[in-house]
Amino acid sequence: MLWQLPLLMLLSCRGNLAYAAGGKWELLMSSIGISAMHMQLLNDDRVVMYDRTDFGASNISLPNGKCRNNNNDLALKVDCTAHSVEYDVSTNSVRPLMVQTNVWCSSGSAMSDGSLVQTGGFNDGINVVRVFKPCITGKKSTCDWQEMGNGLIQSRWYATNHMLPDGRQIIIGGRQAFNYEFHPKTASTSNVFNLPFLQQTNDPGEENNLYPFVFLNVDGNLFIFANDRAILFDYTTSTVVKTYPQIPGGDPRNYPSTGSAVLLPLKNLQEKTIQAEVLVCGGTPRGSYLKAVGGEFLGALNTCGRITITDPNPQWTMETMPLARTMGDMVILPNGIILIINGAAVGAAGWEIGRNPVLSPVIYQPDNLPDSRFEVQNSNAIPRMYHRQQLY
């Protein structure tokens, strides 16, 4: 199988037509050797990508005869292929990396020093903390993953990580993990801390609250959205500061009814009161996952909810996308425009239960009038649904 790495280059916006079809695709490499289930741009203009380790050999070998020996692996106990690569933007080339434990459905975030911390996963990786530090100049072929077994107190699969102002990471949720913890640990934060909101948003048989959307608010608290609702959370005291209204329609927006979310660019940084807005788009109707497992595929949601999380009385404003989408991704571009990309039009997230790939990206211009914010871009022929990724 070929794992293709495309690049979407957006041209200037062209008026208010919903189907102006701008943007240009460029295929950079026909194969990178792995499927980029997760990826992170580092501060040296290199992108680290990685995939699950327990599904057989990849299409790129580890260097110098190196092999991965793992008796816990479900497919290959001895595997001489790589399941992680480093992509060099400047040379358009990849270098194989050695990830030992399974990163399937893991989570991660960059640290203030530029290193990448990746936590949890599946099977032998579910309690592991992995760190990738960018290479030192002149030693570009030597840096690799470092792994810390039992670096997590709680097993975590489908969690969310977020960097905090003090440089630590908070790791929130995961399957049957209704709590949070920190990395690195300190004397006062060496335990897990309960977060009842995650249990309250857990739908029996479907969950719909995995990979919660987490954003640092301007007041230092965390905005956490799971399923169809959100809270403002003080992680230092384990206190819910504010409960936001349920998103209109009441349909879930988190895995496996996967939508996407962004904190819109902050505008008034010099003002005494800074306004912060969150945009949540796509997802699936409640019950879609169980129906898809049974062979019935419901249409994805075509709605977005926008809310000013700093308002004293915040309310959702709903908007309609040109294309319904689940398993989509949203990226903030340098000009403040939001790119909505990837995903499926029917079904849900999970193993082979999404249908009808959405091949056309959409841009969202948050400062335009409501009826002129969305614009469909040129399509790409490569479906990107379950565990797809994008970055700027």
Using alpha carbons, select from 60, 137, 136, 146 the residue that is nearest to residue 100: 146
Separation of alpha carbons 200 and 381, rounded Å = 40
Tokens at 386, concatenated: 């379950």
User: What pLDDT does residue 74 have?
Assistant: 87
CB of 27 within 8 A of CB of 351? no
Average pLDDT of the chain is 92
Specify the pLDDT at position 389. 65
pLDDT in tens, 155-196: 999 999 999 999 999 999 999 999 999 999 988 889 999 999
Per-residue confidence at 9, pLDDT binned at 50, 70, 90?
Answer: very low
Query: Residue 93: what pLDDT?
Result: 95
Each residue of 223-236: pLDDT tens digit?
A: 999 999 999 999 99
DSSP string, 290-359: HHHHTT--PBPP-EEEEEETTSSS---EEEE-SS--BS-EEEE-TTSPEEEE--EEEE-SSTT-EEEE--
**What is the C-alpha separation between 110 and 113, in angstroms, rounded?**
8
For residues 97 and 145, is the Cβ–Cβ distance under 8 A?
yes
What is the structure's pLDDT at 302?
99
**381 CB burial (10 A radius; 0-12, 13-18, 19+):** exposed
Instruction: Read off the pLDDT of residues 153-164 as tens digits, 9 standing for 90 and up.
Output: 999 999 999 999
When pLDDT is averaged across residues 123-127 and rounded to a whole number, the result is 96
C-alpha 218/C-alpha 274 separation (Å) is 7
SS3 193: strand
Tracing tokens 């003080």 back to the chain, one arrives at: 234
Higher pLDDT residue, 244 or 383? 244
- How crowded is residue 25: how many other Cβ atoms within 10 Å of its Cβ? 15
The C-alpha atoms of residue 11 and residue 55 are separated, in whole angstroms, by 38
Tell whether the model's pLDDT for residue 109 goes beyond 90: yes
Residue 23 has pLDDT above 70, yes or no: yes
- pLDDT at residue 392 in the model: 59
| Nearest CA among 178, 180, 174, 181 for reference residue 210 | 174
Q: Which residue has the higher pLDDT, 225 or 25?
A: 225
